[in-house]
Each structure stands twice: as C-alpha cells, then as structure tokens.
Amino acid sequence: MRATLAFCALALFSSLAGAADEEWIQLFNGRDLTGWTPKLSHHELGDNYADTFRVDNALLQVRYDRYTDGFKTRFGHLFYAKPYSYYRLRVEYRFVGEQAAQGPGPWATRNSGLMIHSQAPQTMTKEQDFPISIEAQFLGGLSDGKARPTANMCSPGTEVVYNGELYPKHCLESASKTYDGDQWVSMEMIVIGGAHITHIVNGEKVLEYSLPQIGGGVVANFDPKAKRDGELVSGGYIALQSESHPLDVRKIELLDLEGCMDRKAKNYRKYFVHSNPKSCQY
C-alpha cells in the first residue's frame, strides 16, 4: 500500500508539471494580507503583534524589528482562510538578516516553515505555541560547511508513518541540499489527504511519508479537546510560521486536486485525484 501511494504521488508530480489546464490559486496576492489571519502565542487570534507579518515590495515578510522587548517565545503563525485536503502547494522563500533578540536558541537560526493539515486557528488557546499540524520545515545553511537540509518534516502534536513504521522523532530529515545565505528556495508539497505527502525542493523529490495523525508531543498549552491522539488527519489549514528568524516569501500558490471528476461537467479537470460531486457544473 505504501509503495502504491508513493508511486501515485510521484506519477502525479511527473505527469502534471506544466499542464495547460492547471488552475493555480494565488494564496498570497503580492499586495497585502487579504485571506490571512495571524495567531501569535500569548496573543489573541488576529493580533498581528508589532507587524510580525507584513507586505512590502510585493514580498510577504516575517520581521521582528518592532519587538522592543525581544522575541520571548512569541511563536507565530499566519493562517490562510480556507482548509484543504488534496492539493499541490508551492512556496518560494529566503532567509534574511539576523535572528531576533532572545530567539529560542541556535536551532531557530534560519529556521521557519509552512504548516499543513493544521487545526483551525480558532481552536488554539491564547498561550499555545504551535498549532497541531504537520510542518514542512524551512531550514537554511549556516555557511559553516555542515549539511543542513531544508524541507524536513516536523510534527507538533502529530505523527507520521515513514518506511512502514510510525516515526518516533519530532523531525524527519529530508534528502535536500544545503542552501546557505539569502538565496531563494522553491519548495513544493503534494498532499494526498490523509494518505501520502511528498516534499520537493527546486524540482527534486526529497522526502515522502504517509498517514499523518494526531499524537506525539512538542506542542504546549493546547486545548485537550483538540488533541485526539490516534486520529488520522486528512486535511486542515495552511499557515506560514514565525520562529524568530526574518523571512521573505514571494509566492504561495495552490493547485486544488479535489473537484468534479465527471468528464461531462464543464469544470472537470484531468488532474483531480479526489471527487467532489457537489462541485460539478453542467
């Protein structure tokens, strides 16, 4: 079963690249934060403390220059308004500048990420640090000659199956190259509901895993009702992370793979992998 899912995901990536009828949704419009809502630890939903998330020069920026008293565990996430289950997601990002004062430690230097299959932001508590979710980690090299791959999988309040077994650690390292400095990196994820997830960096497949589910630790101050350990996660919200190092993002776009699969419908698309009959238009 695992091999079949992996083959299907890879075949999807290979066969659909550049298809003429792909209808990519620009989640970030390049102008403002329309469609996005911030949630920072120790702050209420919607409070964009010190303009942590902002748009300047057509870039979605994560910044800390207005944190007058230091970072102080204000882990933040910028949530997109709509949840998704079956999709391809592309993001182009780069790290810039220096880590915020009082950042949580060397591990957070050039470290951020994109959360997928996340709990709804409305279900997070004021003091909660991370959403229960799957993180596609952004990780930059430190220009010290040591390997530091990006597009790793981290699991706040979740677990995944890797090589046929429940993976026991919080983060699962990818096979990506190390990207030093402030260079742009392109990451893509192929998300097949609760079945299979693939990470791709600059066109190369670097990681795949299956059966995301609630469990594990590395999430604090959550509402126990939101953490139902053992429950498979087949969809959820997408959120850009704020983890103490400045970040620029110039693209976040999504190709929805769920839709009308009736060839007679006007909105049929050959790349859909999950049927939604209610969406069909004739």
Question: Which one, of 66, 91, 72, 67, lies nearest residue 80 by Cα?
Answer: 91
What would the pLDDT profile of 35-62 be if each residue is shown by its tens digit? 999 999 999 999 999 999 999 999 999 9
What would the pLDDT profile of 241-271 be if each residue is shown by its tens digit? 999 999 999 999 999 999 999 999 999 999 9
Q: Residues near 194 by Cβ (< 8 Å), separated by ≥ 6? A: 85, 117, 211, 212, 213, 232, 233, 234, 235
Query: Hey, which residues does 40 pair with through a beta bridge?
Result: 76
pLDDT-based confidence at residue 7 (cuts at 50, 70, 90): very low
What would the pLDDT profile of 95-151 be if each residue is shown by its tens digit? 999 999 999 989 999 999 999 999 999 999 999 999 999 999 999 999 999 999 999
Please, are residues 61 and 246 in contact by the beta-carbon 8 Å criterion?
A: yes
Sign of the torsion formed by the C-alpha atoms of 159, 171, 253 and 12:
negative
Which helix H or strand E contains 15, and what residues bound it? helix 2-16
Average pLDDT, the chain: 94
Q: Is the per-residue pLDDT at 63 higher than 80? A: yes
Write b or e for each residue in 262-276: b if 16 or more Cβ atoms lie within 10 A of its Cβ, otherwise e.
Answer: eeeeeeebebbbbee
Count CB-CB contacts under 10 A for residue 90.
16
| pLDDT at site 1 | 47
Write down the number of H helices and E strands in the chain: 1, 19
Q: What percent of the chain has pLDDT over 70?
A: 93
User: Which structural domains are found in the chain, ordered by start?
Assistant: 2-279 (2.60.120.560)
Q: Is the per-residue pLDDT at 19 higher than 70? A: no
Q: Residues near 168 by Cβ (< 8 Å), separated by ≥ 6? A: none
Please, are residues 187 and 91 in contact by the beta-carbon 8 Å criterion?
A: yes
Distance in angstroms (rounded) separating the CA atoms of residues 246 and 164: 36
